[in-house]
Structure 1
């Protein structure tokens, strides 16, 4: 199921911002990705919740991984939207993304972000985005 996982982890390790956040790729297969970010004090806002930018990062990167799994590694996010549904409180957040539809040059993906703690998983955000393939789709 996770045949893409070693390559995906190499890509994540090459992203300085992902390393800064301590992000880990827990699952990566055709059409799906799961990204985890440990919650540290440095990633919280003034009320003790995980900062929305960190939640947004997790959704964006998971969406891009999911899209890249069907389009190839040379991809970027062309747009995405996120809805925060509950404050993220817990030991870590996990973003699970999947491809809804893909063509030759783009993939529409959706993602759910959960805060995970002693009380289990709690949905904290939902996102949808379009992942675009860079370069010439016919030759790349």
Structure 2
């Protein structure tokens, strides 16, 4: 499953540009790592909120794909808990409930600075199983 999700990730131009690295995927879970660089930050040097949202959207999608195949997000939300500052960001997602047509997934974003993880954002997504 990990190789399939990595192939999907590699096919997305935005994910390649951002540097999303899928490090785990299977059984309703997924993890993406993102090395920080200047192009991903906003004016104060934190990870840009849009990139944080993209991480949540993507990790929830990959999480859902591990149980349902092709999916499309119909809704997602993001909550910001602390400035996302560090050398690395880790997005971890898991399926909360998988139905026939919809999948509910949650995600957390951790900033890693000097080897320590700090929770900086969280979110959830409702995904539709793609048909046709």
SS at match of 1:87: coil
Q: Deviations over 1:91-116 (max 9, x none)?
A: 11111000000111111010000011
- RMSD in angstroms over aligned alpha carbons? 1.0
Q: TM-score, normalised by structure 1?
A: 0.91
> How many residues are paired up?
132
Considering only CA atoms, is the larger Rg found in Structure 1 or Structure 2?
Answer: 1
Q: 1-side partners of 2:19 and 2:107: how far apart?
A: 20
Farther-moved stretch of structure 1 (94-103 vs 112-121): 112-121
Structure 1 equivalent of residue 124 of structure 2: 128
Structure 2 equivalent of residue 107 of structure 1: 103
Q: Deviations over 1:39-83 (max 9, x none)?
A: 1011111111110111111111000011111111x2111101110
5+ residue gaps, structure 1: none
Mapped pair 1:44 → 2:50:
no
1:70 to 67, 86, 92: 67
Q: TM-score, normalised by structure 2?
A: 0.96
Structure 2 equivalent of residue 92 of structure 1: 88
Deviation above 2 Å: which 4+ runs of structure 1?
Answer: none
**1:119 shift after superposition:** 5.0
Mapped pair 1:82 → 2:64:
no
Q: 1-side partners of 2:85 and 2:10: how far apart?
A: 25
